[in-house]
Amino acid sequence: MGIFGSLSVGWLLDRMGLEFCAAITLFFGQMQMLLIIYGSQKESWMLLSFVAYTIFRAFLYPVFIGSLTSRLGFKYFGILLGLGFALSGTFQLLFPKVVELTQGDCHLTAVGTGTDSCDHGKWQITEVIQFMALGVMYMIPLLDRRDRINREAQIREILLEESAIATYGSTP
């Protein structure tokens, strides 16, 4: 699935653009969360969740690198990429605390005791928060698209002015 995702994101970046691929990436992230939230007790839904996650991850890195170069160029690409991953790693230091707050204690009980009195945790809260965070992130491709359209309009305006000056001479 990852190979399919990698080939797909490359083709889509060339055909549809970065904003579209960013939205698709977020879509697959949200799809994975929905499949986990509503189907965590069904093996087939969990398999579909894994497929969605695999495609999400295949799209994530090319879209991240494309966004980085689109916004900031290539001049300091290496250091910017390193800073991006360092920032990601820094946020991952919060994960143990999140797990501690959500995991429950069923994994500590003996298997096969016949009792289900353990705490299954609050994983669904984490998944809902992830779903909402991915939803808020849809603003990024929307704002990027708006900025690109405005830039293109400014370029057209400048080119029209230059064309008019070349055709009619300079204005007083």
Domain boundaries, the chain: 2-94+123-137
What is the chain's mean pLDDT, rounded? 84
**Tokens 């919060």 belong to which residue?**
94
Question: Residue 120: pLDDT above 90?
Answer: no
Percentage of residues in the chain having pLDDT higher than 70 = 88
Q: Residue 51 has what pLDDT? A: 93
Question: Residue 114: pLDDT above 60?
Answer: no
- For 38-92, what is each residue's pLDDT tens digit? 987 888 999 999 999 999 999 998 998 888 888 777 787 888 888 888 988 898 8
Question: Residue 125: pLDDT above 80?
Answer: yes
Q: Residue 112 has what pLDDT? A: 52
pLDDT band at residue 15 under the 50/70/90 scheme:
very high
CB-based contact 39:48 (threshold 8 Å): yes
Question: When comparing pLDDT for 95 and 21, which is higher?
Answer: 21
Q: pTM, whole model, 2 decimals? A: 0.75
